Chains A and B, each alone.
Chain A
């Protein structure tokens, strides 16, 4: 854990610290670099994912949610949830980094508004029309076929001016060639359907030998199989649901994290040597209340945790400007107070992962939030 006053220096791993590193070229992306965004829909409880067991107020607030074993102790302050076995291993190998007490600019408690802010990069819900991940794709030299959503439809973060593909495993029999060809002809003159159909055909080609399972590990392997194709996409997004733990959180979150852990491990294994140049960002729309509610769960809160995992990550550390959980330190006397802007993490991680200029990426992705500079030193050069 990195204390409040040390945050600046701790972030200064790379040359230039919080300033632009001169060695980063503009939009000349070596194609071996990969960036994956996993969204946790439903507000994942950061205080349970990465537990501040060193905070004197934690036990009283959360004792009932801590199971046995109590998790992997990362440092004097933080303990990783016991379900995150593989992520813990990656942390030990310097391939996982956590950013705690983080939040998007959103300060209310609607999932859908919160996800919209997280995915569009706006400061208000529905203020920005396209997604930050789509704008990131647009910064790549070969933008047109660089991104894929592992989902039946494209999530808001990936929607925008660049046509991207989506793919979800299906057990349906493939359509006949004649039908496919005639459909292509029918959509040819349709401005909405033509690009969508082109993306469908390209993805279908890439997926020809992909695994068809829909469990988290299969989805992780499937993502890796797309990302390692020579002409495949270099940016992917996955959605995970089920983080809204209003009741019986102990069992439910353990299961959610086990699934996430399996997904990440399968992705790592599937990437092979390409894992070394891969960054996976995991983030949620907001956190949950500091105290346990009346039903063994937690309600909608504010600050949460985000993770970076991957061979490219300068990991093995927790970045936090820890606000504390004492009564007077909580946001609105109820939530973990956010002290780091998620925008700055996303912009920095995305830029460094793809060897783009963090300042430029920060402006392009989060134009409305002009105050904070992207975090740097997150990714190996």
Chain B
């Protein structure tokens, strides 16, 4: 076997920093410059995302239909037929709502894939995917599903070239996150709302507070205690979604954040040794700002970034450099990206990362020349590959290490999907011509296997599952 030479910096820019080379794309002459130039022409709100139906409206319509059915049910008692009507009405509404949000979800996934294929700023799009996974929601129930695409569009994309703090604040105020991690249900045990209705025994839910500290900001094992989590959860009470919850509260706009003072736990909170005397929404906000600027957060974010670009076990020097950059720029993300791009570690000419299913799918489609997703059902495809878009199933998001993706079944699936993606391309795409253009360092062995394949489609499939292409 011939020893392949490593990929050039230009190929690394396209494949490791970007989303995969296109066959008709020239290699960038100044790879670093090519990356930083993208900061000026990133499309924050591409057409597909902009055209999505309004998630809040779908939720509001469902809420209204449910209320109408409940009124019907109450009027109908004790007449059993009427009650049965109302019950079947509720059931039908639920089914319609499920279908509506599935439609929204699929359209959102198509929009995400479309912008990844069409973009002229693939590095910035990659960062959207990175942050969307860092601050992930998991669309495992219909109400979260309704907001999944809107969450990435409205909380992540506008801030990907802004500050970490702003992105974090947008995330923690977004209905998708507030619903996903049960924050809308959390009520101060000594709040006026709890006192007004003592029989309902509503109270604290610390889910979002914990995941903010563990996953979004400070990182696990950074020194906070259970008491800090509970205190922060108390500070967070009242953070809710306009237009959700019972009674008059439900009349507002489900797209919007609402602070509900009556649900807020009164009093001064002490979190990580610091007192937060602010009353109301500002209390949790002040704590969040402190978290965002804490050294632990800089290290946590730097570690994940370094792992994403420089291998599963990134060099401590790179992590330290990125953390310094994060701290000195107060979380200004373009500065952190510039530090990353200027660092030597992500440019090492050995394949640093085993692509996740999403990365592999997008780079495959780009590699065979797609500039739009068309009628390829990307949500289904990602389910088959084991990485459902916006549904990691847990608030930690998807793993970013090879051991999570290079399983035997997963590999078999990629081969099967590659065959399916390649089938309609047939004679139109010649893998022998394309392979050297999109592979970072095409080995002689791969080139020869591709050339000897029994059909043009087989050659394309082989190219997409070659060891060279599975890694970036």
Bound CA–CA A192/B412 (angstroms): 15
- Known contacts A295-B202, A295-B203; A182 and B407 CB within 8 A of each other: no
A273 interface residue (CB < 8 Å to B): no
One of A41, A200, A293 near B205 (C-beta < 8 A): A293
* Binding stretch for chain A, among B142-150, B156-164, B282-290, B457-465: B457-465
Bound CA–CA A180/B458 (angstroms): 10
- Kindly report which residue of chain B lies nearest to residue A41, judged by CB atoms: B394
* Structural contact, B210 and A153, CB atoms closer than 8 A: no
A186 interface residue (CB < 8 Å to B): yes
* Structural contact, A168 and B445, CB atoms closer than 8 A: no
* Structural contact, A297 and B394, CB atoms closer than 8 A: no
Main secondary structure of the interface of A (DSSP, over half): loop
- Kindly report which residue of chain B lies nearest to residue A113, judged by CB atoms: B220
CB-CB under 8 A from B102, the residues of chain A are none
* Binding stretch for chain A, among B19-27, B31-39, B397-405: B397-405
* Structural contact, A197 and B384, CB atoms closer than 8 A: no
* Structural contact, A152 and B407, CB atoms closer than 8 A: yes
CB-CB under 8 A from B454, the residues of chain A are 178
The distance from the CB of A178 to the nearest CB of chain B, in whole angstroms, is 5
* Structural contact, B185 and A247, CB atoms closer than 8 A: yes
* Structural contact, A64 and B407, CB atoms closer than 8 A: no
* Structural contact, B458 and A176, CB atoms closer than 8 A: yes
Bound CA–CA A110/B207 (angstroms): 11
CB-CB under 8 A from A246, the residues of chain B are 181-182, 205, 207
> Per-residue CB proximity of A148-163 to B under 8 Å, as 1/0?
0101111010010000
* Structural contact, B182 and A64, CB atoms closer than 8 A: no
Bound CA–CA A170/B462 (angstroms): 21
- Kindly report which residue of chain B lies nearest to residue A202, judged by CB atoms: B408
* Structural contact, B1 and A189, CB atoms closer than 8 A: yes
Interface size on B, residues (CB 8 A): 60
A59 interface residue (CB < 8 Å to B): no
* Structural contact, A110 and B406, CB atoms closer than 8 A: no
Bound CA–CA A23/B415 (angstroms): 48
Bound CA–CA A332/B197 (angstroms): 29
One of B393, B405, B446, B452 near A153 (C-beta < 8 A): B405
B416 interface residue (CB < 8 Å to A): yes
> Per-residue CB proximity of B428-467 to A under 8 Å, as 1/0?
0000000000000000011001001111001001100111
The distance from the CB of B207 to the nearest CB of chain A, in whole angstroms, is 5
- Kindly report which residue of chain A lies nearest to residue B461, judged by CB atoms: A179
* Structural contact, A175 and B415, CB atoms closer than 8 A: yes
The distance from the CB of B195 to the nearest CB of chain A, in whole angstroms, is 13
CB-CB under 8 A from B181, the residues of chain A are 246
Bound CA–CA A215/B362 (angstroms): 29
The distance from the CB of B73 to the nearest CB of chain A, in whole angstroms, is 20
The distance from the CB of B130 to the nearest CB of chain A, in whole angstroms, is 18
B206 interface residue (CB < 8 Å to A): yes
* Structural contact, A294 and B446, CB atoms closer than 8 A: no
* Structural contact, A154 and B220, CB atoms closer than 8 A: no
Size category, A interface: 35 or more
One of A153, A183, A299 near B386 (C-beta < 8 A): A153
CB-CB under 8 A from B229, the residues of chain A are 109
- Kindly report which residue of chain B lies nearest to residue A149, judged by CB atoms: B407
- Known contacts A153-B386, A187-B467; A294 and B462 CB within 8 A of each other: no
* Structural contact, A154 and B407, CB atoms closer than 8 A: yes
Interface residues of A in 196-251 (CB under 8 A from B): 196-197, 199-200, 203-204, 241-242, 244, 246-247
B170 interface residue (CB < 8 Å to A): no
- Known contacts A64-B201, A294-B186; A152 and B458 CB within 8 A of each other: no
* Structural contact, B226 and A190, CB atoms closer than 8 A: no
One of B140, B185, B194, B418 near A295 (C-beta < 8 A): B185
* Structural contact, B467 and A112, CB atoms closer than 8 A: no
In the complex, which of the residues B354, B455, B465 has the most CB atoms of chain A within 10 Å of its own CB atom?
B465
CB-CB under 8 A from B185, the residues of chain A are 247, 294-295
The 5 closest A-B pairs by CB, nearest first: A294-B203, A153-B407, A200-B408, A152-B386, A199-B408
12 contacts between A and B (CB under 8 A): A64-B201, A152-B407, A171-B384, A173-B419, A175-B418, A176-B458, A186-B462, A186-B465, A196-B411, A197-B408, A246-B182, A293-B203
Q: Which B positions have Cβ atoms within 8 angstroms of A?
A: 1, 140, 181-182, 185-187, 189, 194, 201-207, 210, 214, 220-221, 226, 229, 354, 384, 386, 393-394, 396, 402-413, 415-420, 445-446, 449, 452-455, 458, 461-462, 465-467, 470
